[in-house]
Structure 1
Amino acid sequence: MDQDELPLHASSFGAAAAAYAEHRPDYARTAVRWALEPSPGPRVLDLGAGTGKLTATLVDLGADVIAVEPDPAMLGELSRSLPGVRALPGSAEAIPLPDASVDAVLAGNALHWFDMALAGPEIARVLVPGGVLAGLWNLMDDQVEWVAGLARVSGKAAVGPRDTPASWRAETADLHRPKTGAATRFGAPEQADFPHGQRRTADSLVETIATRAGMLVMPEEEQQAALARIRAFLASAPATARGEFTLPMRTGVLRVRRL
């Protein structure tokens, strides 16, 4: 994606906040536990929290969670579904928290939107020494034949460069480092991915794909043509043609420690 397109894509989700909340998957618990494993304490910032998909899992795992999200519509969905969570407007580049106030910063399908030249120092500021920064991504498991076919039919707008396990590893290995040459404040990255899945029907999977940034910014006619191709593929594939099925996924995690 061209750097000039990033702000447009990053800000596209608010218009589809309700659909995002309804159709996007949560994250594999084993992945979230692994992300938090080195954390020195229970205080977790969910940064770029969206509608709270990751926030809910963190709450279930007993973390003391604060959610920060720049989009008012997304933040509204989060507060509606998780009224007990402290939810604040803010961004990765301007985090509304004091210095050394959290033990871990997690970002679900959000780290690639951050401007790390600004966000890196901000995240380091709010983390305690030895704290954890982890990005999590839900990936399509294209080792499964029909999922690989779906990825081909969907095209780049629906299946981006971080959406399958192999491409995710290559695209995210150094995502925590600023691209400006500024000194990093984090240690060596670790990557791992974990089995996950989401119960879907053909219709609800189409709705899920329609919440991808590349689809949301697409001209209406082009978007509808792409979704029609996806519907036709799902109707023709034995695994997805009738009733509910599990979309095979992986949750990938990039984990680093604050120096």
Structure 2
Amino acid sequence: MEQDVRELHALSFGTAAVEYAEHRPDYAPAAVRWALESAPGARVLDLGAGTGKLTGTLVALGVDVIAVEPDPAMLAQLRGTLPAVRALAGSAEAIPLPDGSVDAVLAGNAMHWFDMTVAGPEITRVLAPGGILAGLWNVMDDRVDWVAGLERVSGRAAIGPRDTFSSWRAATASLHLPGTDADARFGSPEQSEFPHGQRRTADSLVATIATRAGMLVMPEPEREAALGRIRAFLASRPETASGEFALPMLTGVLRTRQL
């Protein structure tokens, strides 16, 4: 994704901060524990924290967490939901924390928006020696037949090239973290995935998909047409046509240690 297009998508979420907070899923606790299992201490930065979806999971696990988020509307939602958390305005490219002040930097569905040429040195600066950098991505589990059908109907704008299981597995190692060849500050990435899920109705799943960046920047007539196709598909499937259902998901994790 070109830089100007990436910035347009990254800045779109604030226009739907309330809906994002209501409809986006949290993260599988087992995935968060795995991301942190070799961290040298318990001080964690949630970077690009959004409305606090990952922050809330960290709090529930008893982690000492600081949240940093650039978008004012998203940050306001986070502060309203998690008032006890220290939540700061800032970005991956300009982290408002002292050198060596955290033991781990985690990013939930956010690291692909970072300009790692700038963010990499900033993350390195705030990490304590041996600290952990980990990206987490919630993805629909397209090994399930109806989920695969939903992704086909929804298209790239709704699902996104990094939001399918296969793209996450194939691309994150090269796209989301500094590699040992390109950046000797970090060791070889490790990756794993963990079962997750979210209770949805057809309407709330449509609302969730509507918070995707590709949908938020789409012209309104095109957006409504895409959401209409998704509604029609969900109405046609016995798994999703009526009442609540479980949306099968995975939380994928890519982690590396600072050398």
TM-score, normalization: structure 2? 0.97
Would you identify which runs of 4 or more consecutive aligned residues in structure 1 move more than 6 Å?
none
1:12 aligns with 12
CA drift at 1:127: 0.3
Q: Which moved more, 1:214-223 or 1:163-172?
A: 163-172
AA of the residue aligned to 1:35: A
AA of the residue aligned to 1:171: A
Q: Is the 8 A contact 1:120 1:184 kept in 2?
A: no
Identical positions, percent: 76
1:46 aligns with 46
Structure 2 gaps, min length 5: none
1:257 aligns with 257
Q: Deviations over 1:140-179 (max 9, x none)?
A: 100000000000000000111221222101120122128x
2:73 aligns with 73
2:93 aligns with 93
CA drift at 1:104: 0.3
Q: Is the 8 A contact 1:30 1:194 kept in 2?
A: yes
Structure 1 gaps, min length 5: none
1:168 aligns with 168
1:183 aligns with 183
Q: Does 2:189 match 1:192?
A: no
AA of the residue aligned to 1:105: V
Q: Distance in 2 between matches of 1:187 and 1:115?
A: 19
1:33 aligns with 33
1:147 aligns with 147
Q: Distance in 1 between matches of 2:95 and 2:182?
A: 19
RMSD across aligned positions (CA): 1.1
1:110 aligns with 110
CA drift at 1:207: 0.1
1:226 aligns with 226
1:208 aligns with 208
CA drift at 1:182: 5.8
CA drift at 1:28: 0.4
How many corresponding residue pairs? 257
Q: Distance in 2 between matches of 1:125 and 1:46?
A: 15
Q: Distance in 2 between matches of 1:156 and 1:162?
A: 9
Determine helix, strand or coil for the equivalent of 2:251.
Answer: strand
Determine helix, strand or coil for the equivalent of 2:243.
Answer: coil
